[in-house]
Amino acid sequence: MLGIQHLRQHAIAHSLFPETSLKNAIDRLGFIQADPIRAPARAQDLILRHRVTGYRAGDLERHYTSLDLEEDVLYAYGFIPRHIQQLLHPRRPRTLSRLEKSVLETVRQSGVVHPRALEERFGNQRVVNDWGGYSKGTTRVLEHLHRLGLLRIARRDRGIRLYEAVLPPTERRSPAERLSDLIMVTANILGPVQEKTLFANTAHFGHLGSTRTAVAALVHSGALEKHDIDGIRYVWSPAPLASEETPPLVRFLAPFDPLVWDRRRFEHLWGWPYRFEAYTPPARRQRGYYAMPLLWHDAVIGWANARIEGQNLSVEVGFVGKRPRDRVFRTELDAEIDRLKTFLRI
């Protein structure tokens, strides 16, 4: 009978696979969530450093143009292999405004475009963005056209997205095929995934069909399998459960790492609630601005806050229970800090 120990080991073995090349890791993951906060590095880099041999902060952006990658929204915003990203489009169609049509035509004629170039032509009027703040109107138009699949991110210039027009795909999949494939991609990166989480994070594909019906069909066909563990239904791709013990390594995981992304699963697997507190008022933070879950063996036993101070890296760790006192843990904690320094080129 499957238990929570099997689930933990399987989740770790599935997500933290042996280090490989950057392209292979991206293909195996299928999606890497992006976040602009650097504390001490961006989320996409912190996610890849555990899975790519010799990875350094910024490598994804440096090699982006050679990786057949796109930036888009799967269940969050991030980097997606092009063949998967094409499953997302077309999204729900809508009529373009006059300004959107003009911007799109300008980009088509110009090739790769920096948002600043469009400001010179269309002005830099500010509009309210999705977070209640203000963005430049032309930037918002570019973001909308990108979301609709009419523009793509060609590359970045000092973090600023440069846009170009998208050529229509040569092959069209049926809505049902697209939906099934997108569900499988989501189940793969978050797997083993709670069924509730899978439904919640594929619901926005409802224009392609019923996600619940599609999941049921995938289970019936054997492409996915279901298991109830502690009364919670989990879904994952059929694979032998990891039978070997998780190696005695310390890893600092990004708050958006797929291993810890689902907070409900996190609490079920490791018995305590983890929350991302960067946007929590400082006085109400319990674990820190960018506390990274600390994995030891197959348990998340605490968190680490890391920041660069001049030419040095400062790391503070906290624990849910008692700090392990054995020598192996101390050695592995120091080794993880050293790996983080190397990754940050400190």
User: How many CB atoms lie under 10 A from the CB of residue 189?
Assistant: 21
Pairing label, strands 126-128, 69-73: unpaired
Q: Taking Cα atoms as reference points, which of 156, 154, 125, 157 lies closest to residue 141?
A: 125
Q: Scanning the structure block, which residue is given the tokens 């049902």?
A: 176
Residues of the chain with CATH 1.10.10: 98-165
Give the residues across from 246 on adjacent strands.
none
Q: Scanning the structure block, which residue is given the tokens 């392990």?
A: 324
Q: For 44, phi and psi rounded to 5 degrees?
A: -60, -35
Confirm if 36 and 42 have CB atoms less than 8 A apart: yes
Q: Is 273 helix (H, G, I), strand (E, B) or coil?
A: coil
Q: Cis peptide before 90, with omega less than 30 degrees from 0?
A: yes
* pLDDT computed for residue 243 by the predictor: 64
Q: Taking Cα atoms as reference points, which of 1, 79, 10, 17 lies closest to residue 265?
A: 10
98-165 maps to which CATH number? 1.10.10
Distance CA 63, CA 50 (A): 18
Q: Scanning the structure block, which residue is given the tokens 């509730």?
A: 196
Query: Taking phi first (over 0 means left), then psi (-120 to 50 degrees means alpha), and beta for anything else, what does residue 252 get?
Result: beta
Interacting residues of 76 by C-beta distance below 8 A, sequence separation 6+: 33, 256
Could you tell me the end-to-end alpha-carbon distance of the chain, in angstroms, rounded to an integer? 47
Tens of pLDDT along the chain (346 residues) come to: 678 998 999 999 999 999 999 999 999 999 999 999 999 999 999 999 999 999 999 999 999 999 999 999 999 999 999 999 999 998 877 789 888 899 999 999 999 999 988 887 776 555 444 434 434 678 889 999 999 999 999 999 888 899 999 987 767 889 999 999 999 999 999 999 999 999 999 999 999 999 999 999 999 999 999 999 999 999 999 877 666 778 899 999 999 999 999 999 999 999 999 999 999 999 999 999 999 999 999 999 999 999 999 889 999 999 999 999 999 999 999 999 999 999 999 9
pTM: 0.92
For the segment 28-86, what is each residue's pLDDT rounded down to a tens digit? Answer: 999 999 999 999 999 999 999 999 999 999 999 999 999 999 999 999 999 999 999 99
Q: Cis peptide before 40, with omega less than 30 degrees from 0?
A: yes
Q: Taking Cα atoms as reference points, which of 145, 98, 97, 136 lies closest to residue 117?
A: 136
